[in-house]
Amino acid sequence: MMLSALLVAMAATLPGDLEGPQPVDSTGTPVEAKAIAPARATVFKAAKIYVGDGTVIENGSIVVQDGVITQVGAKVETPKGATVVEHDGAISPGLIALHSNEGAGGELLDSTREVMPEAEARHAFAPHHSDYRRARQAGITSLVLAPSSANLIGGQSAVVKTAGGKVVKPSAHLAVSVSSDALNFNRFPTSYAGAMKELNDRFSEPEGAVARAVSGALPVLVDVNDRAEIGRALGFVKKFQLKGALYGSYWAEDLAEPIKESGMAVIATPFDVGDGERQMRSIVALQKVGVRIGFGLDAPARHPHSLRLGAAMCVRAGMPADAARKALTGDAAIIAGIPGRIGRLARGLDADIVLWSGDPVALSSAVEGVYIDGKHVFGGEK
Amino acid sequence: MRSKAMWPARMGLAIAVFVPLAGQVVGSTPLSQDEAESTPDVYMVRAERLVVRPGQVRENASVLVRDGRIVQVGGADLALPEGATEVRGAVVCASYIDPWSALGVDSGALADTNLVGSARTADGLDLYTGDHLRDEALRAGVTLARLQAGWQGQIGGLGAVVRLDPQLDVAEEAVVTDSADLAMSIGLSVDQGSQFVQGPDGSFRIISGDRAIDVFDRVSAVDKVVSNLETGRAYRKSQLEYEHKFAEWQKAIEKKTEELEKDFKKAKKDRDKDVEKAKEKGKEHKDKSYKEDRKPKQPKPDPDKAVLAQVAEGELPLVIELHRAGEIRNLLDATKDFSRVRMILAGATEAGPMAGELASRGIPVIVWPSLRGTNAADEFQGSDLSLAATLRDAGVNVLLGSGGRDATASRDLPLLAELAIGHGLSRDDAFHALTLGAARAFGVADRVGTIELGKDADLLVLDGMPLESGSHIQYVFCGGRLAVSPN
């Protein structure tokens, strides 16, 4: 399995423009659009539309054509012959889980080597796995498949859709781990000192994906656990002037200012019922000083609703609800590196739409309908 | 059954003033003005909406709290007693009760797998630590919890309903009832901790702690529940038989005494003669024996069996944690003949298909709406967040709990309730589960669960309706003490 995936990886040629709108499948082959006849437009109408950038439209409409949003607003004319979906609750963009493992099994970790910058998580994408159905049911329409933090440089993450099999960004981040997870009894490195030496060596004479990270073209995703590790990570990204996000938020509270100065975003570690208040306080403090926040998930070990649980727990701890909604959608798309494709309900973006019974950050709100690229993938309305 | 000292601790002078009143019916002995002024414990809580009990709302109401209790409920014009503190809010409702919690149970008592029926969770409380956990729970509106030691054991002992007030360091004051239920479990695949075992050759080896749970173990666990119920029933029967026999014996003795007293003089003469004769013969005199002399033998008192007897007779609820459909099916079949047993299922992950039967047999279920990944332990693999709604729709009395394993989870009970609401449970049903439903199930509905005259003052003041998204808890009263206020 692993070997064949590697062979495919070597054989595959990546499309030149990684940011381009052309969808590719897990092997990098462009997915042909199956447009036969021009599709009828669909109009979604709701009392409340959470755009994803913090703004709210009351009694608004969203027009979708060929899987793309063409119009959004309070005064939008319904095109002739359009299918109209009247929803009596709220509508938001599809949620984005920033660090997850759906359907990937053990494929996101090659435990034999500690540094593999060219390994690509998209090869672990198994779009028909039942994990993706669970994710859709929770309103998650895109997620970042991230290499395991057990390797020093685990490889490149991929942004994938939870339906339709699309890899929307094949090389989203370079996953780097300065956490104790990367220290191993059986192989190098076994200490922080060893880990930092190796990382410094690799980034001082960069090649391939590491070179792209150093040039700023490829954001890094730096796994951290405790306070000292956050400090080490900040020193590391400053030294090489890296962009990206820290993954890990337990101990970030006291370091909110330095994190803000580093320009790094923070992906919150998945939340669980009963988690200590420190974790919520950290996110609230980071958000307050202006650090961009997103939420990690790490499904399937976590339930997909854990994503919203994290947002709800942070709101209870004092995070403004609109900031929490942004962290699940618009800001998450920025951290994922494709704000021009997903995360907001705006003209030209993918029609990834969730119909809720109420506010998306309230756990009492039900997911009543999910559309990905304009296609109905879950819920009652079609 | 009930613990006697149930009054919240007071501060300073108030202790001297009010403790002697404990036990009296509040209201029949109104406090003098002087006393009212000296206490910090008189509050007038006014709200635009008072949720008296689930589904019953009164507009513009006032609630007078004095000495730990609700002493008056009236309209907005209810006069403010001198010295009382006024608290205002949009909504007042009963505080939340976690009917399946570990908050405040000593970790050793919680993990004990060898408890017996008469073991009391109230004796295994650890109220001196974890104040911040209780504070967090209070801020979330949870002021009461049913605590259960020995959750992993096949018998977990007697559960207790406890008030989560960090000021109540004395168990007697915090405990609302020390025998809320008897707990049992079936089929939990739990880690019992690895241990060193010395072999016959003197060498040590490590025995893996995971209890092997296969289908045979689970069948035998159901059998054990049944045999425990039979033991209880037999014990009660033997007790009753003894009491009956003893009463009969007492009657027979009375009758015989009467009979003998009639011929007392002759009998005495005859006996004296017999004694004389025996003396002459150098023999010891033997009194005549009567069959009534034989006193019925009392069965050996057994506190564990006595608890099982209470359970078998429905005097004490039986909480059984189990999850797999097969076990629930087996349990329901095996307990059909025990119509008096008041069973409450905890967890019941795969109970959906049995919802109708649970409803018709009146068996409540404490649902634990937990977010589990696909790597969850075997018994939770069928986990479904819509279980609460499925059961409720079929007419089952649904309660909501935080699982009884993790002390910090009680704080998140309202979030769990919201999850259940997001998966089809109505807000009213969820509120009922967290208040009156839980109070009724564990026999404390005369004290807590609604806002009514004479009840303990466990209540919340919110800026919106409880369990509504966007509502915030502003004040929390825990047994009449203002435990949480804004900032």
Q: For residue B351, what are its two tokens? A: 């109970």
Q: Which residues, including other chains, have CB under 8 Å from residue A53's CB and lie 6 or more apart?
A: A326, A330, A344, A346
Q: For residue A2, what are its two tokens? A: 């692993």
Which domain CATH number covers A87? 2.30.40.10
3-state secondary structure of B398: strand
Residue A351 lies in a domain: yes
B442 within 8 A of B100, measured Cβ to Cβ: no
Domains in chain B, CATH or no CATH each: 1-95+449-487 (2.30.40.10), 98-212+311-444 (3.20.20.140)
Q: Which of A28-37, A166-175, A344-353, B115-124 has the lowest mean pLDDT?
A: A28-37
Considering the domain architecture, whether residues A207 and A236 belong to the same structural domain is answered as yes
Averaged pLDDT for residues B458-477: 94
Residue A8 lies in a domain: no
User: Could you give the CA distance from residue A183 to residue B254 in angstroms, rounded to a whole number?
Assistant: 87
CA of B463, closest CA in chain A: separation in Å? Answer: 14
Q: What is the pLDDT of residue B21?
A: 35
**A68: how many CB neighbours lie within 10 A of its CB?**
16
Averaged pLDDT for residues B256-274: 87
Considering the domain architecture, whether residues A202 and A56 belong to the same structural domain is answered as no
Query: pLDDT tens for residues B423-448?
Result: 999 999 999 999 999 999 999 999 99
More confident residue, A183 or A334: A334
Largest CA distance in chain A: 66
CA angle A113–A107–A234, rounded 5-degree value: 60
Residue A102 lies in a domain: yes
Nearest CB to A274; choose among B372, B409, B468: B409
Could you tell me whether strands A174-177 and A220-223 are parallel, antiparallel, or unpaired per DSSP bridges? parallel
Q: For residue A301, give the chain B residue with the closest CA.
A: B373
A106 within 8 A of A368, measured Cβ to Cβ: no
**DSSP annotation string for B133-190:** HHHHHHHTTEEEEEE-S-TTSSEEEEEEEEE--TT--SHHHHEEEEEEEEEEE-S---
Q: Residue A30 pLDDT > 90, yes or no?
A: no
**Beta carbons of A363 and B402 less than 8 Å apart:** no
Q: Residue A286 pLDDT > 50, yes or no?
A: yes
Averaged pLDDT for residues B383-404: 97
Considering the domain architecture, whether residues A193 and A252 belong to the same structural domain is answered as yes
Q: How far is CA A354 from CA A231, B68, B142, in A?
A: 38, 47, 33
Residue A198 lies in a domain: yes
Q: Which residues, including other chains, have CB under 8 Å from residue B409's CB and lie 6 or more apart?
A: A273, A274, B101, B102, B402, B403
- Most confidently predicted of A29-43, A323-337, B36-50: A323-337
Considering the domain architecture, whether residues A272 and A296 belong to the same structural domain is answered as yes
Residue A36 lies in a domain: no
Q: What is the pLDDT of residue A50?
A: 98
Q: Does B375 touch chain A (CB under 8 A)?
A: yes
Q: Does A199 touch chain B (CB under 8 A)?
A: no
Q: For residue B112, what are its two tokens? A: 């004990």
Which domain CATH number covers A177? 3.20.20.140
Q: Exposure of B216 by Cβ count < 10 A (0-12 exposed, 13-18 middle, 19+ buried)?
A: exposed
Residue A29 lies in a domain: no
- Most confidently predicted of A108-112, B134-138, B290-294: B134-138
Please report which confidence band the pLDDT of residue B216 belongs to, taking 50, 70 and 90 as the band edges: confident
Name beta bridge partners: A370.
A354, A378
Looking from the CA of B114 toward its CB, the CA atoms found within 13 Å total 1
Considering the domain architecture, whether residues A295 and A183 belong to the same structural domain is answered as yes
Q: Which domain holds residue A159?
A: 95-336
The whole model's pTM is what? 0.87
Q: What is the pLDDT of residue A162?
A: 97
Considering the domain architecture, whether residues A116 and A217 belong to the same structural domain is answered as yes
Query: pLDDT tens for residues B60-91?
Result: 999 999 999 999 999 999 999 999 999 999 99
B89 within 8 A of B474, measured Cβ to Cβ: yes
Domain count of the fold of chain A:
2
Residue A148 lies in a domain: yes
Q: Exposure of B353 by Cβ count < 10 A (0-12 exposed, 13-18 middle, 19+ buried)?
A: exposed
Considering the domain architecture, whether residues A215 and A322 belong to the same structural domain is answered as yes
User: Could you give the CA distance from residue A349 to residue A344 in angstroms, rounded to a whole number?
Assistant: 7
Q: Which residues, including other chains, have CB under 8 Å from residue B50's CB and lie 6 or more apart?
A: B57, B58, B59, B61, B63, B73, B91, B92, B93, B451
Q: For residue B401, what are its two tokens? A: 């709990």
Considering the domain architecture, whether residues A252 and A349 belong to the same structural domain is answered as no
Q: What is the ipTM of this complex?
A: 0.88
Considering the domain architecture, whether residues A160 and A70 belong to the same structural domain is answered as no
Please list every residue in chain B whose beta carbon sits closer than 8 Å to the beta carbon of residue A305: 371, 385, 419
Residue A10 lies in a domain: no
**Beta carbons of A305 and B419 less than 8 Å apart:** yes
Nearest CB to A302; choose among B136, B373, B418: B373
Considering the domain architecture, whether residues A274 and A367 belong to the same structural domain is answered as no
User: Could you give the CA distance from residue A158 to residue A120 in angstroms, rounded to a whole number?
Assistant: 7
Q: Residue A341 pLDDT > 80, yes or no?
A: yes
B363 within 8 A of B419, measured Cβ to Cβ: no
Query: pLDDT tens for residues A254-279?
Result: 899 999 999 999 999 999 998 888 89
Considering the domain architecture, whether residues A274 and A318 belong to the same structural domain is answered as yes
Considering the domain architecture, whether residues A122 and A270 belong to the same structural domain is answered as yes
Averaged pLDDT for residues B203-224: 72
Q: What is the pLDDT of residue B469?
A: 78
**DSSP annotation string for A263-329:** T-EEEEPPP-TT--HHHHHHHHHHHHHT--EEE---TTTS-TTHHHHHHHHHHHTT--HHHHHHHHT
**Beta carbons of A273 and B467 less than 8 Å apart:** no
One-letter amino acid for residue B4 of the chain = K
Q: Does A364 touch chain B (CB under 8 A)?
A: yes
Residue owning tokens 């635009």: B48
Query: pLDDT tens for residues A10-25?
Result: 434 344 334 445 566 6
Please report which confidence band the pLDDT of residue B259 belongs to, taking 50, 70 and 90 as the band edges: confident
Averaged pLDDT for residues B237-264: 92
